[in-house]
Amino acid sequence: MPSSVMPTSRQGDGRPSPAVAVSAVGLRKSYGDKTVLDGIDLRIPAGSVFALLGPNGAGKTTAVKILSTLIAADGGQAQVAGHDLAADPQAVRAAIGVTGQFSAVDGLITGEENMLLMADLHHLSKREGRRVAAELLERFDLAEAAKKPASTYSGGMKRRLDIAMTLVGGPRVIFLDEPTTGLDPRSRHTMWQIIRELVSDGVTVFLTTQYLEEADQLADRIAVLHDGRIAAEGTAGELKRLVPGGHVRLRFCDPAAYRSAARALREATRDDEALALHVPADGTQRELRAILDQLERAGVEADELTVHTPDLDDVFFALTGTDQPKESVR
Ligand SMILES: Nc1ncnc2c1ncn2[C@@H]1O[C@H](COP(=O)(O)OP(=O)(O)O)[C@@H](O)[C@H]1O
Ligand SMILES: [Mg+2]
């Protein structure tokens, strides 16, 4: 059985570092003369959500397959849940769960039977298997449908069953390859909730997604996969700060107030027609307060204030846009 405590890894100087659930250095993979992964480095703290973000064909599934031991990398090294991928793939497999684009759900049998099959695979006793299956079916709101063939389930129900099946073995690291692709908005939100709950149990989630909003919503850290490399890595906030364009927009009803504000905020861009000022800002509380203080000193009050931060879409296009060399991104 996988230990319930994440092992700590040792740094070069022998000090234990905070538990790392997944670490990879220089992962490479090619198919024929097509390089899919061209040296990927990852370091994912235990108990966090990590999103590998990239469009179709970027190599997300390839990365998941390598890290979950389904295929071998051509080069590089990786540890998952404290075990070396190459040296101890069995131990990696015992510690992880994977749900992919191709679900493990068997449509011909019921949800409950699918769960019991997983329990058998994990060598749980009949009694324990029933207990775990019932508990997970309940948790994922599938108890009512448990006795129906899985082929009758909606897309969202199938995904939930898939995750429930993955959890039977008590994995410490879960790979979710595009967990919400093809789901309707409501099922997508349910899935997001499920993923957040997984993490509150201490599980590490490695998810792939094409959706910037999904990465923004769920992930502690995001890596943008582009041209076989990690083009950028960080929190959603850090990534957003990579691209300029954040500003505060202040709108006034009274032209006199507008003019006073424009005098007070000299760095602002004016929109005389709309009586609006755009002040460059990165969206931090400190900057916002500074702007408000300046307005207050000038004795004016804006009638409308909106903060515009660049979203991940801006970041993504800035990082991957062919018309914009990477060097231009600060
Ligand atoms: N078994 C394979 N043989 C040849 N090419 C493959 C194979 N698997 C994936 N590829 C190619 O590798 C690239 C990345 O695929 P994939 O990892 O599935 O991307 P993603 O999951 O980001 O959509 C694609 O161009 C795909 O066609
Ligand atoms: Mg894929």
Per residue, what are the HEC states of 77-140?
EEEECCEECCCCHHHHHHHEEEECCCCCCCCCCEHHHHHHHHHHHCCCCHHHHHHHHHHHHHHC
Instruction: Check whether 1 has a pLDDT greater than 50.
Output: no
Looking at residues 215-231, what average pLDDT do you find?
93
Distance 86 CA to ligand 1 centre (A): 21
Ligand 1 within 6 A of 4 CB?
no
Ligand 1 within 6 A of 36 CB?
yes
Distance 57 CA to ligand 1 centre (A): 6
Helix or strand run (H / E) with residue 194:
helix 185-200
The size of the chain, in residues, is 330
- The pLDDT confidence band at residue 280, using thresholds 50, 70 and 90, is confident
- Range scoring the smallest mean pLDDT among 232-241, 285-294, 315-324: 315-324
Ligand 1 within 6 A of 57 CB?
yes
Distance 36 CA to ligand 2 centre (A): 12
The structure tokens listed for 94 are 């015992």
How does the average pLDDT of the chain come out, rounded?
A: 87
- The pLDDT confidence band at residue 323, using thresholds 50, 70 and 90, is very low
**Do 163 and 137 contact (CB within 8 A), yes or no?**
no
Ligand 1 within 6 A of 64 CB?
no
Ligand 1 within 6 A of 180 CB?
no
Q: Can you give the pLDDT at residue 208? A: 96
pTM: 0.77
Q: Can you give the pLDDT at residue 240? A: 79
Q: Can you give the pLDDT at residue 102? A: 61
Ligand 1 within 6 A of 56 CB?
yes
- How far apart (Å, rounded) are the C-alpha atoms in residues 326 and 226? 11
Instruction: Check whether 11 has a pLDDT greater than 50.
Output: no
Looking at residues 56-84, what average pLDDT do you find?
95
- Range scoring the smallest mean pLDDT among 9-18, 33-42, 210-219, 247-256: 9-18
Looking at residues 58-82, what average pLDDT do you find?
96
Looking at residues 194-219, what average pLDDT do you find?
90
- How far apart (Å, rounded) are the C-alpha atoms in residues 219 and 236? 8
| Phi, psi (deg, nearest 5) at residue 299 | 70, 30
Looking at residues 60-65, what average pLDDT do you find?
96
Distance 28 CA to ligand 1 centre (A): 13
Name the residue at shortest CA distance from atom 16 of ligand 1.
59
- How far apart (Å, rounded) are the C-alpha atoms in residues 162 and 151? 13
Ligand 1 within 6 A of 58 CB?
yes
Mutate to test the pocket of ligand 1, among 33, 61, 176, 209 (most ligand atoms within 8 A of CB): 61
Ligand of minimum distance to the alpha carbon of 29: 1
- How far apart (Å, rounded) are the C-alpha atoms in residues 145 and 245? 49
- How far apart (Å, rounded) are the C-alpha atoms in residues 239 and 147? 46
Ligand of minimum distance to the alpha carbon of 227: 1
Ligand of minimum distance to the alpha carbon of 57: 1
Instruction: Check whether 118 has a pLDDT greater than 70.
Output: yes
**Do 206 and 175 contact (CB within 8 A), yes or no?**
yes
Q: Can you give the pLDDT at residue 72? A: 95
Mutate to test the pocket of ligand 1, among 62, 66, 208 (most ligand atoms within 8 A of CB): 62
| 247 Rama sector, left if φ>0, alpha if ψ -120 to 50, beta otherwise | beta
